[in-house]
Amino acid sequence: MEPHPLPAKTISSRHHLPLILLALAIVTMAVYWQVHGFDFLNYDDGDYVTDNSHIQDGLTRKSIIWAFTTAHAVNWHPMTWMSHMLDYQIFKLWAGGHHLTNLLFHIANSLLLFLVFRKMTGCIWRSAFVAAVFALHPLHVQSVAWVSERKDLLSAFFWMLTLWAYARYAQRPGWAAYIWIIIFFILGLLSKPMVVTLPFVLLLLDYWPLHRFRLGGAEDHRHVPIAGLIQEKIPLFLLSAISAGITFSVQQQGGAVESFDAIPFTERLANAFITYVTYIIKTLFPTKLAAFYPYPESFSGWKVFAAVMMIAVLTGLALWFIHRAPYVTVGWLWFAGTLVPVIGIVQVGFQSMADRYMYLPMIGLTIPVAWGIPEIVSKWRHRQAWLGISAALALAVLAIVSWMQTGHWKNSQTLFEHALEVTSGNYIAHNNLGNVFFRQGRMKAAIDQFRKAILIKSDHAEAHFNLANTLMDTGDTDGAMTHYLYALAARPGYEKACNNLGNLLLKLGRADEAIAYYQRAIAINPGYAQARYNLGIACYQKGDMPGAMESLKAALRLNPGAANVRMALDRAMKKK
């Protein structure tokens, strides 16, 4: 097959290329530079960095094996884990360093997006606009300003590199070019499984802007039969299926996948249509953005109907434009298709939607704007000036709003106080704000926030657990006992609740009951070193020295550097 040429439109203003790249990098850096002074959050950052001993081991043979074999945080993304390990090796617990790595990835993604679209379309300014919206849109703040969302940025980085490799392959097909598509795609899947939709996007790009096939009309020597295009992507679809299967298994085993008893299919479908519309609205008017959006208790019939009709009309219009303006069709299907894994049909977690889910799908909504508006005003006088001024104003507004939205991510208190201002029924925000007050020693304020979270969602295990811990610290052992039991009723596999309830029972002199809960915690999580240590202490207090030594040795194997475990083991051995 002959090399596929660039689109007919010539590439103009080549000398502008380095200036555009520099401007994109500088403006993005200016909007997000404040993150270098931000803290870690009490929202997943513990799992990903601050409380994760494997991450804090740095990049070692043992930690790399862990990255590829763990289901920690109910996800399988070894590249993301290794990225955090490398960050910890460099920055330790300086949160600013971890934030700056996120920022550098976002800048790299923005620059790559510009270069990829310029390569595929030959349009420098339209490609620059797509990249600038990507770089500056407030919906992307969550992915950039949250250390735990490194997976978004890293997977997008390999997504962009895959697109670049594919654009080269489209020009000159061959195994030497195709192997890079495979490599980058695998690295993307190992960073975050949302990349599974990429083969579908490549098929869209085959139609426009790569023009590798056409629908109807005469074909020429440059076109490839659709069956051939699908066939060449079979390895990619197989990799997507494997990644999706692993991810679903990990999330289901970790209890993150909600059952259809908890959220019926009809509710999921209703939420999906409403969420599609909400994402479109927030793309156009990015207001009331929050770290967490609670799942609605009910759905208004007219809202669901309106959402279904809107999506149907937009899809119909996109398909109607398939010949006269293919970028509209491709952009819409990019947006709708890449959201499928996170639209909630398979519900993972308690959120109805999330800003971070729009990191890649928003590109699809930007494409029709970047190519459509210049076509609409093509006959206007001074259209270049009008387009330039309008684009500059729009991007300036996005930059200002993003800068303001980024400020809310400074620390856990500012983040969740803002979430409570812009959402209702946000039990996650109440719970996490309660944790902030607990760490500040403001026990009354913490208890108030935990109770508000439970009032909204009575079976929220973490809120019960945190309330129990706070009541324990204030001396209310009866209240603590009640809420530990509530936490375990809501989540029977909650090993931390088992461990802390064991601590309370041991404190009350009920060693046998405490031992039973420690053993339950260890059965749930055999690698729970703290529970093994506590079990050893309980056995020691009962006079069971062999049992104490066995548990303490196990705890020491899991955490060799724990001085308190070693001291307790020495005491048990001497008493034996």
Same domain, 27 and 84: yes
Same domain, 150 and 47: yes
| φ/ψ (deg, to 5) at 575 | -75, -25
The residues, any chain, with a CB within 8 Å of residue 296's CB and separated by 6 or more, are 271, 352
Q: Tell me, what CATH number does 563's domain have? A: 1.25.40.10
**pLDDT attached to residue 220:** 62
Q: At which of 378, 407, 436 does a domain end?
A: 407
**pLDDT attached to residue 234:** 97
HEC string of 338-357 equals: HCHHHCCCCCECCEEECHHH
Domain that holds residue 329: 14-407
Same domain, 46 and 84: yes
Kindly state whether residue 241 falls inside one of the protein's structural domains.
yes
**pLDDT attached to residue 4:** 43
Query: How is 360-424 classified by DSSP, letter by letter?
Result: TTHHHHHHHHHHHHHHHTTTSTTHHHHHHHHHHHHHHHHHHHHHHHHHTTSSHHHHHHHHHHH-S
Kindly state whether residue 355 falls inside one of the protein's structural domains.
yes
Question: 101-128, pLDDT tens digit by residue?
Answer: 999 999 999 999 999 999 999 999 999 9
Kindly state whether residue 1 falls inside one of the protein's structural domains.
no
Kindly state whether residue 220 falls inside one of the protein's structural domains.
yes
Same domain, 348 and 262: yes
Same domain, 435 and 382: no
User: Which among 495, 572, 480 is positioned nearest to 527, based on CA atoms?
Assistant: 495
Same domain, 318 and 443: no
Kindly state whether residue 328 falls inside one of the protein's structural domains.
yes
Kindly state whether residue 130 falls inside one of the protein's structural domains.
yes
Q: Tell me, what DSSP letter sits at residue 37?
A: G
Same domain, 385 and 521: no
Dihedral Cα 471, 477, 482, 486, nearest 10 deg: 50
Same domain, 322 and 420: no
Same domain, 390 and 423: no
What whole-number distance in Å separates Cα of residue 542 and Cα of residue 201? 63
Residues of the chain with pLDDT below 50 are: 1-12
What whole-number distance in Å separates Cα of residue 484 and Cα of residue 465? 6
**How many other C-beta atoms can be found within 10 angstroms of the C-beta atom of residue 213?**
17
The domain total for the chain is: 2
Same domain, 455 and 388: no
Kindly state whether residue 383 falls inside one of the protein's structural domains.
yes
**pLDDT attached to residue 302:** 95
Q: At which of 345, 376, 407 does a domain end?
A: 407
Q: At which of 352, 386, 407 does a domain end?
A: 407
Contact 355/275 with Cβ under 8 angstroms?
no
Residue 512 three-state SS: helix
User: Which among 286, 275, 493 is positioned nearest to 394, based on CA atoms?
Assistant: 286
Same domain, 398 and 419: no
Kindly state whether residue 444 falls inside one of the protein's structural domains.
yes
Same domain, 106 and 126: yes
Question: 335-371, pLDDT tens digit by residue?
Answer: 999 999 999 998 888 899 999 999 999 999 999 999 9
For residue 283, what are its two tokens?
């793309």
